[in-house]
Amino acid sequence: MGNEQAPAGPGGPGQGKKKTGSASSGGRNDNPQAARRAKVHLARNIPVEPAQSALKDGELDLQAFVAAHEFEIRSLEQSMATSKAVGSSRAFQQPRRRKPTTTRARLRAETAKRLRLLAARTRRRKLIAKGSKTADKAERPPTQRSRPKIRRNELNEPPLPPARFRKRQIHKTWLPTHLWHAKRARMTPPNNPLWRFAIPLTPSERIYRPTHRSQGERGTLVWDTSYMSTIGLYGHEGGLSRVLKRLGFIDAAYWNGKSKKWLEGTQSRSATIMRDQNGRPRPICPCTVLWNPQPLQQNQSSTQRQAFLRMHPSAFKEVFDELLRLTKMETPRLYIEDLRFEIGSIELTGPASTEALLAVLTPHPDAEGSALNQGRIFESLHGLTNPSALAANVTLAFAIQDPRLRYPPRRLEGWQDDRLQEKLMENIVEWPVERQLDSNMLFDRDARHKGSALPSQQAICKRRSETTAGAFLEPTKSDPQIPLTLLACRSASGTQTQGSWTLMLPWKCVLPVWHSLVHCPLISGGNPRFAGVNESMQVALERGVPWFPADYPGTDAGADWEATQRAKRRKDYDKRPKSKRTEWTSLDLGAGRKGELGDGLTCDFELLFGLKPESGESNAAETDPGDAMQGVETTTAPGASKVNKLSLLNQVSKTNLQAHLDATSPQALPANAIASVRIMIVGRGVATSCARIYRLPRPSAAAPESSNVGVPSTVPHGTALGDHVLPFNLRAQWLAKLFKEKAPSKTKRKGPNALDMDYRKRQLAQTLTAAPAQYPPVPANHDAIDGHHPLVPDAEDLIGFVTSGSYNMAHGRGTAVGAISVEKVLLDLQTTPKEAKLCIVRNAGENVGWLARWELV
């Protein structure tokens, strides 16, 4: 009691026994655990005052004693409150637990947590291996996943994604290669998927010119086309044939002797499938049909067959509903299956497409029967640079081993071997696919499921670590056979372009094959280039074939695509400042005509066929057509304002139109009939989307007589300048450009010497005898655009629109694909077929037209 004590507290003797973490010179605490312990200790330490302060000369000072206890009581209450708030809470009771601020501490905490989980997993695995009784059902090794159930005659759900990616796939589905593409390509917006899929639009790098070279000159292009839809059709052969005939496979070539290989399953066939609408067939989309081969040893009395229908996803629901309706009409009943997420696909095109497939796909050594035979035929395709060299639409069905066993793939050798070239030519001529023909494994659900049960990547890496460096792994019993089918496709006849390979395989096997394909070294150098939707449109344009659904406005899917593109163009147009926009009403088309024909941001088929709604119901986005539409009758179809106007268009195929022209008493064409055409610019010029297509103007009835007056009289002011009178020889002006472009002069003629006296006299005489300049002067672009380019025809000669167009690097000129009105060109095709296929193409917002030639596709 006699010794005085310093007040305890911060810095007192009570705090000297605890060492706090030292802070660095930068103010950062290198030991956060020690700092936390010191903080908790300070919160639980109760400051007190020594008892000597309450005594005075050995006697108790009551007032000082009460004051001393008052301080202690307050300190006790404050310490209790602080201790309760600091050290008694749990992690799960806090709204958010703060992670360590330093990188080293955070990694240490995460590593410790990971090590605990791995240790617990290892202990459970050891207990299971020893057969311990402590291993319950939840701790048993995972068994093989059950086979997914496919419901008949109903739509199936996409596979359940992992939990961490599930929220991102609520309104769309990822492709098997989505994570690979998402790092290397521009994808569809998350809130605006394409056909309910997240699809790569184009690679992140510049690829327009490399796409042209890879698809035609050297290399290869690769697409993940797993978004393409597949429908399985099952039942007796007679019923399947009747259903396919109602869908549009009505040509005799599909069912006569020429179709033997197709019905046997060694070839595929494509056609535009139809559905009935008001007693007339309406096209839906192009579709490829593949039959399952019928084994030779099968009982001939059994006629149960299977067929796959492969189509674009934008028309899948329409095709599925039509198939469901047709199968209900058959007895015994047929049934269909939705195989969209069961079968994926990869498409390759280019001279090195076969080379890349040979380097990646290795036939399984345990294959038997037809799979073994067709696998050997596939291996004999060394040196093939164009799949179009094979028989039309041939197929190869065999089983391969896991491509990861031979990863990374190696460059093929022996392409210059004469024996391989001879064997290739023999197989192309003979094509012995029919030998030992049995069913396609891809049609078997069990085979697809077993092929999808691939070993994990960790197991593959562990096996590779146990082998010699650089050696390929040998397949074991745990490596399943992956069934696949290769379809060799040709482009449209007459284009002389590269063919393509379509690889169909189970959905879960697409990613391993994809990784090997994009890393395959090619003999020409580099690797295969992956591409997106934009590149597929570019390749189709360079080959002169229509791309579905953009170039099929006469289908429901094409009408939806055009409506979507209209909204996109309108949104981009509205984003521009007013000074950068095209003013449609002020467009000068020459001869006093002002304004664009219809809406410059659309392929305005409503204007072409008179399907515009009433004035009170017109779209506010459409602009005033201007003076260019003066004198043109625009009728309104009955009921056009109540339905989608684009859905009233009717697509007419090339075969039907040619049959209509050849028939002596042809049937009436459907209303609003359009036909797809391939457009080739004759000279200069490039056509883009929404460009206007004109026919040649009608020939003039009689040319005006030449005046005998030496100096003709001038046209009075206001006469014939505002009446939109085109030159009487406008058709001849355009035909003259055709002959000029058709036979260009190779050598330039040397003109007369400008210093020659006779030449100078002739020039002076021509100047003196020339007619005086017209007064008032003729307005600009009255007789020609910029004084030398012919005027475009009037609105009555408008026959169609360009749906896709650009500069074609394969032809060195502008090409396009469009749709024209059949009614407006039918008479010209019957009277003057050669000149009827000449047209004038003018881009929207421009007043210069380009002479072109169109061809039905």
Specify if 271 maps to a domain: yes
Same domain, 364 and 500: yes
pLDDT of residue 139: 44
Better-scored residue on pLDDT, 631 or 471: 471
**Backbone phi, then psi, for 8, in 5-degree steps?**
-75, 155
CA of residue 481 relative to chain centroid, distance: 30
pLDDT tier at 617, thresholds 50, 70, 90: very low
Specify if 654 maps to a domain: yes
Question: Bridge partners of 785?
Answer: 789
Average pLDDT over residues 731-758: 70
pLDDT of residue 492: 67
Same domain, 621 and 639: yes
Distance CA 626, CA 607 (A): 13
Same domain, 222 and 235: no
Distance CA 197, CA 187 (A): 10
pLDDT of residue 715: 44
- Read off the pLDDT of residues 452-471 as tens digits, 9 standing for 90 and up: 999 999 999 999 988 888 88
pLDDT tier at 414, thresholds 50, 70, 90: confident
In this predicted structure, the answer to whether residue 709 has a pLDDT above a threshold of 50 is no
CATH of the domain at 254: 3.30.70.1400
Same domain, 494 and 396: yes
Domain count, the chain: 4
CATH of the domain at 685: 2.40.30.110
Q: Residue 257: how many CA atoms within 13 Å on its side-chain side?
A: 0
- The tokens for 533 are 């939707």
Question: Residue ranges of the alpha helices (H) in 710-852?
Answer: 730-742, 757-769, 822-831, 833-836
Q: What Cα–Cα distance (Å) separates residue 53 from each residue in 14, 15, 59, 77? A: 19, 22, 11, 22
pLDDT tier at 625, thresholds 50, 70, 90: very low
Specify if 305 maps to a domain: yes
Residues 319-328 as b/e (b if ≥16 CB within 10 A, e otherwise) read: bbebbeebbe
**How far separated are the first and last CA of the chain, in Å rounded?**
113
In this predicted structure, the answer to whether residue 580 has a pLDDT above a threshold of 70 is yes
pLDDT of residue 80: 80
Same domain, 367 and 465: yes
pLDDT of residue 150: 85
Average pLDDT value for the chain: 83
Q: What Cα–Cα distance (Å) separates residue 139 from each residue in 117, 132, 453, 552, 692? A: 14, 11, 21, 56, 69
DSSP string, 476-527: -TTS--EEEEEEEE---TTS----EEEEEEEGGGHHHHHHHHHTPPPTTSS-
- Read off the pLDDT of residues 131-172 as tens digits, 9 standing for 90 and up: 654 444 444 444 556 677 788 999 999 989 999 999 999 999
Q: What Cα–Cα distance (Å) separates residue 85 from each residue in 20, 39, 78, 89, 94? A: 21, 12, 11, 7, 12
Question: Bridge partners of 590?
Answer: 593
**What range defines the domain where residue 67 resides?**
38-85
- The tokens for 181 are 């593409």
In this predicted structure, the answer to whether residue 259 has a pLDDT above a threshold of 70 is yes
Distance CA 329, CA 93 (A): 64
Specify if 499 maps to a domain: yes
Question: Residue ranges of the alpha helices (H) in 150-236?
Answer: 178-182, 208-216
Which is nearest to 36 in space by CA: 98, 92, 79, 93? 98
Distance CA 368, CA 714 (A): 91
- Cite the beta strand spans of 292-406 per DSSP E: 304-311, 335-338, 343-349, 395-400
Question: Bridge partners of 268?
Answer: 290
Boundary of a domain, candidates 303, 318, 338: 338
Which amino acid is located at 558 in the chain? Answer: G
Give the Cα-Cα-Cα angle 317, 318, 322 (nearest 5 degrees): 115
pLDDT of residue 321: 96
In this predicted structure, the answer to whether residue 767 has a pLDDT above a threshold of 80 is yes
Contacts for 831 with CB less than 8 Å, ≥ 6 apart: none
- Taking each helix axis from N to C end, the angle separating 237-247 and 316-327, rounded to the nearest 10 degrees, works out to 130
Boundary of a domain, candidates 517, 542, 567: 542
Specify if 134 maps to a domain: no
H/E stretch holding 460: helix 457-465
**Backbone phi, then psi, for 421, in 5-degree steps?**
-65, -40
Same domain, 489 and 414: yes
pLDDT tier at 541, thresholds 50, 70, 90: very high
Same domain, 796 and 655: yes
pLDDT of residue 3: 47
Give the percent of the chain with pLDDT over 70: 81
Same domain, 365 and 482: yes
Average pLDDT over residues 607-628: 60
Name the DSSP class of 331: S
Residue pair 234/243 in contact by the 8 Å Cβ criterion: no
Same domain, 473 and 598: no
Residue pair 430/422 in contact by the 8 Å Cβ criterion: no
The helix/strand/coil state of 818 is: strand
In this predicted structure, the answer to whether residue 28 has a pLDDT above a threshold of 70 is no
The helix/strand/coil state of 852 is: strand
pLDDT tier at 37, thresholds 50, 70, 90: confident
Which amino acid is located at 760 in the chain? Answer: R
- The tokens for 470 are 């650089």
pLDDT of residue 7: 45
In this predicted structure, the answer to whether residue 700 has a pLDDT above a threshold of 90 is no
pLDDT tier at 14, thresholds 50, 70, 90: very low
Average pLDDT over residues 729-758: 71
Q: Residue 52: how many CA atoms within 13 Å on its side-chain side?
A: 7
Boundary of a domain, candidates 57, 85, 113: 85
Specify if 48 maps to a domain: yes
Residue pair 507/343 in contact by the 8 Å Cβ criterion: yes
In this predicted structure, the answer to whether residue 724 has a pLDDT above a threshold of 70 is no
Specify if 523 maps to a domain: yes
pLDDT of residue 148: 72
In this predicted structure, the answer to whether residue 645 has a pLDDT above a threshold of 80 is yes
- Read off the pLDDT of residues 654-667 as tens digits, 9 standing for 90 and up: 999 999 998 888 88
The helix/strand/coil state of 785 is: strand
Same domain, 685 and 809: yes
Same domain, 323 and 441: no
- Read off the pLDDT of residues 322-367 as tens digits, 9 standing for 90 and up: 999 999 999 888 999 999 999 999 999 999 999 999 999 999 988 8
Residue pair 264/437 in contact by the 8 Å Cβ criterion: yes
Q: What is the CA radius of gyration of the chain?
A: 39
Lowest model confidence (mean pLDDT) among 219-228, 411-420, 471-480, 827-836: 411-420
Specify if 146 maps to a domain: no
Same domain, 268 and 314: yes
Which amino acid is located at 575 in the chain? Answer: K
